[in-house]
A and B are shown apart, each in its own frame.
Chain A
Amino acid sequence: ETGVTQTPRHLVMGMTNKKSLKCEQHLGHNAMYWYKQSAKKPLELMFVYNFKEQTENNSVPSRFSPECPNSSHLFLHLHTLQPEDSALYLCASSQDSNRDYFSYEQYFGPGTRLTVT
């Protein structure tokens, strides 16, 4: 496996279900991100993890719970979702953006297409 992988690629869940999205990066990066992509809207940043520590939570509802056990893996735990949460959830990774070296490039996985019924 190379790059950033995400599983599952498609997920249909009811509003009372609990599910988890998984992301794995094989690039040796130490920062990981969750973004939400909805139709007709820009990609929205949800969470940022740097060296396994959450450095940003972009006002995301508590029904989305991230977990980063190590620099290569990132999870998004889902529970009690709403139909408006249906979207493409994208994971990305980057090298730590040390400002002296401008290492900002973010690489995205293929996404998980989530449908909440």
Chain B
Amino acid sequence: GENVEQHPSTLSVQEGDSAVIKCTYSDSASNYFPWYKQELGKGPQLIIDIRSNVGEKKDQRIAVTLNKTAKHFSLHITETQPEDSAVYFCAAIPASNSGGGADGLTFGKGTHLIIQP
């Protein structure tokens, strides 16, 4: 099955600096890679995602890059702000032999991002 590794487990950056979180996956047939942000007491919130047919996607201060050959994808947050402090999870949907239908996500262990004022 799919295995997703996420690094680092904790990342502390100064407000205004950039933060980068990296993930690798094992199933070369995986084709969808979302990133979630989870604040204390809340469920994970989808912040950005990328499909396997593109290499980069950007949404304001957040960007995600995908390297299919190396099987890794990264989250980039620029001009970090205190409200960016949270736990971030990467995930992948592994290939399914079912021919369609809903697929569960395989998650990384999460990165606790701390924005220092």
Report which A residues bind B (CB closer than 8 A).
Answer: 4, 6, 31, 33, 35, 40-45, 48-50, 55-56, 58, 90, 94, 96-99, 102, 104-111
- Give the number of chain B interface residues (Cβ < 8 Å): 28
Residues in B with CB closer than 8 Å to A98 are 100
**Do A104 and B32 touch (CB < 8 A)?**
yes
Question: Nearest Cβ in chain B — how far from A74, in angstroms?
Answer: 12
Tell me, yes or no, whether B107 is within 8 Å of chain A by CB. yes
Q: Is the CB of A110 within 8 A of B41?
A: yes
Per-residue CB contact flags for chain B residues 14-58 toward chain A (1 = under 8 Å, else 0) read 000000000000000001101010000111111001010000000
Question: B49: which A residues are within 8 A, CB to CB?
Answer: 104-105
- Does any Cβ of A come within 8 Å of B98's Cβ? yes
Residues of B at the A interface (CB closer than 8 Å) are 4, 31-32, 34, 36, 41-46, 49, 51, 89, 91, 93, 98, 100-110
14 A-B contact pairs sorted by A residue (CB < 8 Å): A31-B101, A33-B104, A35-B105, A42-B4, A43-B89, A45-B106, A96-B101, A102-B31, A106-B46, A107-B46, A108-B36, A109-B43, A110-B42, A111-B43
Nearest CB to that of B109 among chain A residues? A42
A45-B104 in contact (CB<8A): yes
Bound state CA distance, A92 and B31, in angstroms?
Answer: 19
Question: What are the 6 closest A-B residue pairs judged by CB atoms, nearest first?
Answer: A31-B102, A45-B104, A108-B43, A50-B102, A43-B107, A42-B107
B45 adjacent to A108 (CB under 8 Å): yes
Question: Given the complex, which residues of B lie within 8 Å of A50, measured CB to CB?
Answer: 101-102
